[in-house]
Amino acid sequence: MLIALLSFNACEMDDDVVFKASADDSIAFTNTFLTEYVLTPAASGNIGERFTWNSIDVGVPTNLSYDLEKSISGNFDTDGATIGTTSGNEIAITIGDMLGFANEAGLDNDPSTDNPDTGEVHFRIKAYVGDGGVPSYSASQALTLHLPEESSNSAVCDNDQLFLVGAGLPFTGWDWASPSTVICNGTNVYSGNIHLDASGDANFRFFTTATDWGSGLNYPYFEDAGFTIDSNFENAGDGDSNFKFLGTSGFYNLTVDMINKTITLSDPASLGNCDYDQLWAVGAGLPDAGWDWATPVQLMCEGDNVYQGFLNLDADGDANFRFFTTATDWGSGLNYPYFEDAGFTIDSNFENAGDGDSNFKFIGTTGGYFISIDMINKTITLE
């Protein structure tokens, strides 16, 4: 009876823990928030934000629960709602979740309505013990959500695309077999995701017509026209006054704006309409990545549910790899049977690795390739 009574009192005490308002036991978000969250339905499956917070000490050994709460108005007493509960220190929400909150806030991206396309939603963390414990709350954090306006205007350019070849493009070189491209996606604005290599000559040139060397647009062409050119480029000073890449070798989005006269580099961007902005790939068969999330291969959305990009493939050793919809999330993997069972025609350079995860195995010739994953026509092809 004495043991039972003590046990009952101990449990009851845990549920009645009162949080002290001191700096040592206050709870606060620890992640860094964006200035604005741009929301598109095509990216609804992607993680929009991963909320993290510190652990707190209530003075006795006990298990704490944390609720992530949101409020449209900012007054949690009137419209607060719990959107996730955990005993850990993080909760993630998707772009799709954020689109739902934006809808609750009355936002839309229709230019014909008076509804705003930008607004705030408020979040906080509630920490508590059991069902009767006195809770502690973090400060409220407002996130700005933005819905880009839809436009019915079609892009109009002097050319459907510009072509790039040169030593500074590692998967292209001075060869018309596989030129890099930036496509028309605005009024005389061309944009595309390209790989750039700062080693060696690191030079390249734009062309208006594939295979036509006479259609080249070199560095002085843009410089003399008054363009502001990204500082990662300079005049190569070679016989053709090509562009020379000076930055860090890697994957970039290149934009050539013929109206505002700018050439800029930025992070790779989704240029099509897909379920995800990009797919990721890691594995032993990808020498630039390995089984490491520090350097994954990124395949951007380049069309209607089409993901494309260049990658190095290595047939030595395990030669295995897997696609993922979310970086660092092993649970988001898409292995060989995922595509096979869905009826995909898979390039003959791949087979089921037959390992524990049924990864892809590369059985072709080691080298650089252009891969295309077409989710509509259900094909995976290498060039």
The structural domains of the chain, with segments of one domain joined by +, span 18-146, 161-266, 278-382
For residue 273, pLDDT beyond 70: yes
Beta bridge pairs of residue 219: none
Distance CA 353, CA 12 (A): 55
Q: Would you give the DSSP letter of residue 160?
A: S
pTM: 0.58
Taking only the tens place, the pLDDT of each residue in 216-264 is 999 999 999 999 999 999 999 999 999 999 999 999 999 999 999 999 9
Taking only the tens place, the pLDDT of each residue in 289-300 is 999 999 999 999
Identify whether the C-beta of residue 357 lies closer than 8 Å to the C-beta of residue 335.
yes
| Res 26: pLDDT | 86
Q: What angle do CA 126, 132, 135 make, to 5 degrees?
A: 25
The most confident of 16-20, 104-108, 135-139, 163-167, by mean pLDDT: 163-167
Helix (H, G, I), strand (E, B) or coil at 224: helix
Closest CA to 33 of 168, 145, 180: 145
The phi, psi pair for 83, rounded to 5°, reads: -115, 0
Q: Decide if domain 161-266 falls under CATH 3.40.50.720.
A: no
Residue type, 243: F
Q: What angle do CA 279, 285, 290 make, to 5 degrees?
A: 75
Better-scored residue on pLDDT, 224 or 26: 224
Distance CA 149, CA 146 (A): 9
CA count, 13 A, side-chain hemisphere, 106: 6
pLDDT band at 133 (very low <50, low <70, confident <90, very high): low
User: Superfamily for 18-146?
Assistant: Immunoglobulins (2.60.40.10)
Equal CATH topology for 18-146 and 278-382: yes
Distance CA 305, CA 241 (A): 38
Q: What is the CA radius of gyration of the chain?
A: 26
For residue 44, pLDDT beyond 90: no
- Per cent of the chain over pLDDT 70 is 89
Identify whether the C-beta of residue 252 lies closer than 8 Å to the C-beta of residue 194.
yes
Q: Decide if domain 278-382 falls under CATH 2.40.50.420.
A: no
Taking only the tens place, the pLDDT of each residue in 66-89 is 999 999 999 999 999 999 999 899
pLDDT band at 59 (very low <50, low <70, confident <90, very high): low
* DSSP assignment string, 326-360: STT-GGGEE-HHHHHHTT-EE-TTEEE--STT--E
